[in-house]
Amino acid sequence: MKAIARAAFAVAAVVAVFGAQAGAARAEQCQRFGGWGTGALEGFASFMAEAAMKNAAKAKFGDTVKIGPVSKKCEVPNLLYECKAFARACK
């Protein structure tokens, strides 16, 4: 009876280890990306910042990257608008 209990415990331990590894393999890889853009118009600077952020995410995770909500901040420190865009992207 002890032999059967030990064998069952060993099988359960092996299944638990492989199940945990399979779950970790399916976990999404996510990272926060940012971009920066300038322009005479705020819309253009914002577009350039968002495009730079998306290009960085695609360079890291490929064309199938999922990009979350984008947060943008624009200011005019001198003659041109400067915008920064950030978003979380997952593979």
Dump pLDDT digits (tens) for 1-24: 555 544 444 444 444 444 444 444
Mean pLDDT of the chain, nearest integer:
81
pLDDT at res. 13: 44
pLDDT at res. 14: 41
CATH of domain 29-90: 3.10.28
Phi and psi, residue 73, nearest 5° = -140, 125
pTM comes to: 0.68
Residue 85 has pLDDT above 80, yes or no: yes
pLDDT at res. 28: 79
